Structure 1
Amino acid sequence: PGDAIVKLSKTTICGTDLHILKGDVPSCEPGRILGHEGVGVVHEVGEGVSTLKAGDHVLVSCISSCGQCEYCRRGMYSHCKTGGWILGNRIDGTQAEYVRTPHAQTSLYRIPAGLDEAALVMLSDILPTG
């Protein structure tokens, strides 16, 4: 109920994806669709999502966060008890046409129309990591 399906328009490859392909990330099972960075359009939202709707342009955060657990309340989103780095690691990621995004209300960020999506996709992980 708290998830959204996003149709991706831009995604990218991260160094982490290369570590997965090398076999350095045991939590990522073989056959997993990789990717944790993306920009796209909300295709569908779960019944528990009230802040987003189909047609919204969004940035997909590389970190999924519930916004409610003790770690999220402390601003430590990567340690979220039901989120963290799950896209392209524990569930299928953004290197696909569509991606299921858990915790949509706290893991997707609405973007204004007309902005350069190729630049925006860098905000998903690459720029904050740098």
Structure 2
Amino acid sequence: MITLRRTIKFLPCFILTLLASFSANSSVMIEEWLEPVIEFKNLEGEWSLKSAKKLPQPPLIVKDEKGNLLLVNIRRVGMVWVPRTSVRLNEEALQLACQETSTVKAKDYKNFGMRGEDDNQFTCLAVTKQ
């Protein structure tokens, strides 16, 4: 009878722990800071900058998404909105900046092409700036 009472007493704690670990594994998480300085907006709407070295190391759970911003609870900072461009998430593959779709002109300015659409593209192309 004593063993049964102890089991019943600790069963809710075990279930909560199990559910928390399951939800953390299935949620979107920040895996890496992509910039040396991270800008973030607090819940009052004020923007701040902080060095990525002074912020806690990922993984961090994303609480909400709103357009290009991610709501994250950062230790010693609080709940803040972080731009999606400043982080790498666990749900997306790392892409080089040169793999994004961009228009590239040939030297004679007649041939235009889209570069970076191919899945097997791993090298950067020179892009002319005008």
Point out the structure with the larger strand share. 2
Which structure's relative contact order is higher, taking Cα pairs within 8 Å and 6+ residues apart? 1
TM-score (norm 1): 0.23
TM-score (norm 2): 0.23
* Rg comparison, structure with higher value: 2
